[in-house]
Amino acid sequence: MFGSPDFTAVLVLVGLFVAVLLALLSYHTPRRDYVNTGLGILILATSLALILGAFGTPSVATALVLLIVFVTIIALLLTYQSPAWAHAVWWIGVALFFLALPMLAVGRGDLAVFSLIAGPGLLMLVATMFPEVPARYSRIGVTDAPPEVTAEEIAIERRRYTRLAGGVTLAAIAGVWLFGGVPRAPVSEAQAIGPVTFDERLAQQGAQLFQEYGCVACHSVTGQAGVGPSIRGAAHRTRRLTDGTVQPPTDEYLRESIAQPNAKVVNGFASGVMLSAVSPRLPEITQPSNMDALINYIKSLAP
C-alpha cells in the first residue's frame, strides 16, 4: 500500500493526519467525541483506500466484498426508516470481521485487511449511533438486568467498540507499513495454468542435458524439493519469489531462471547456489538449442 505512494496511500495518510489532529484538539478541550470522529474518519479513509486498490486485481472475492458494501449502505439507509435495521448492520459488521480469514486463504490480503478494518468500523458506527443494539447483545444471559438499557451500559458499549475498531485499524496500518505490503497467502500448489505443450524429441534431448549438466544434483524429478525446487511440475505451478510476488511458469521465467539464476529467487531457497554450480558451463547451457531442449524437458514433467 505504501510501496509506491499513490492515491490510496495518500487517502490513508490524510485519514491519519485528521485523526491525529482531532486527537490533539481533544487534548485541550477534553472531548472524547473528537478522538472518536478522528478514528471514524481514519477507518473510512483506510477502508476506501483498500476497496479502491482492490480493483487492481478484481476477482470473485472483490465482487463479494462490493456486494457486502452495497448491502451495508442499503441497510444503513434503512435505519432512518426503522432503527431495527441497525441489528442487520451489526451482524454484517460481525460477518465482515470473520470474512478476513477466508480472504487470506484465497490470497486476497488486501480484502482481508479491508474486512478486518471495515468490520469493527461498522460495529463502532452502530455502537455510536444505536448503542442499545450492542447493549442488548451484551445482556444475553443476564437475567437481572433492568428493562431499559442504562446510560452506563451505553457508555461502556461506545468505548468498547471505539477501542476495538481504532486498535484494529491502527494495528493493520502499522502492520502493512512495517511489512511493506498487504499479507498474501502462500502460493505453491499447482494452479490452473492451462495445457502445457512440448516437443517430445526436444524433451528427450533435454533429459540428457539435465543429467549431463548436473542439474539433477539439486533438482529432483520426483516432486521432492532438494537443494533446489523439484523440476517436476515446475512448468505447471506458480511459485512465490523472495520479493513476495507470485510468479507464473512463463517461458521467459523458466529461461531466465536457468540463464540468470539470481535474477529471480524462489522463496525458501538459497540464492547464488545454482549460479556458482552452473556458471562454468553457462555459455554452453544457454546455447539456444540447449535451452530449448531443457525447457521442453521441464514442460514434459507434469506434476
Residue with cell 476506501: 48
Interacting residues with ligand HEC between 252 and 281 (CB under 6 A): 254, 257-258, 261, 265-266, 269-271, 273-274, 277-278
Q: Which residues contact 236 (CB under 8 A, 6 or more apart)?
A: 190, 193, 196, 249, 302, 303
Cell of 151: 446510560
2 belongs to the binding site for ligand HEC (CB under 6 A):
no
C-alpha cell, 194: 492451462
Q: Which one of residues 93, 229, 300, 301 is an interface residue with ligand HEC (CB under 6 A)? A: 229
Q: Of 92-100, 173-181, 194-202, 214-222, which part binds ligand HEC (CB under 6 A)?
A: 214-222
- Interacting stretch for ligand HEC, rule CB under 6 A, among 26-34, 35-43, 128-136, 222-230? 222-230
The phi, psi pair for 197, rounded to 5°, reads -105, 150
End-to-end CA distance of the chain: 35
Q: Residue 202 interacts with ligand HEC (CB under 6 A)?
A: no
From the CB of 215, what's the least distance to ligand HEC, in Å? 3
By beta-carbon proximity to ligand HEC, the closer residue of 117 and 274 is 274
Distance, in Å, from the CA atom of 261 to the CA atom of 269, rounded to the nearest integer, reads 12
Task: List the x/- string, 234-253, binding to ligand HEC by CB under 6 A.
Answer: x----x--------------
Q: Which of 97, 105, 89 is nearest to 47 (CA)?
A: 97
CA distances from 89 to 134, 156, 169, 241, 278 (A): 11, 20, 19, 40, 61
Which residue number, 152 or 252, has a Cβ lying nearer to ligand HEC? 252
Nearest CA to 254 among 208, 223, 204, 300?
300
Quick check: 128 and 86 in contact, CB under 8 A?
no
Smallest distance, Å, CB 121 to ligand HEC?
Answer: 40
Torsion of CA 29, 32, 34, 37, to 10 degrees: 180
| 181 is a site residue for ligand HEC (CB under 6 A) | no
Query: How many other CB atoms are there within 10 angstroms of residue 18's CB atom?
Result: 17
Number of residues that bind ligand HEC (CB under 6 A): 26
What is the rounded distance in angstroms from the CA atom of residue 122 to the CA atom of residue 125? 5
Q: How far is the CB of 68 from ligand HEC (least distance, A)?
A: 36
Least distance from C-beta 251 to ligand HEC, angstroms? Answer: 11
Shortest distance, CB of residue 3 to ligand HEC, whole angstroms?
22
Cβ(46)–Cβ(165) under 8 Å?
no
Kindly tell me which residue out of 89, 285, 293, 301 binds ligand HEC, with binding defined by CB under 6 A. 285
Q: Which is nearer to ligand HEC, 95 or 275 (CB)?
A: 275
Q: Does 232 bind ligand HEC (CB under 6 A)?
A: no
- Figure out which of the listed residues 228, 236, 293, 296 binds ligand HEC, where binding follows CB under 6 A: 228
For the bound state, the minimum distance from the C-beta of residue 59 to ligand HEC, rounded and expressed in Å, comes to: 24
Write out the residues near ligand HEC by the rule CB under 6 A: 213-215, 217-219, 227-229, 234, 239, 254, 257-258, 261, 265-266, 269-271, 273-274, 277-278, 285, 294
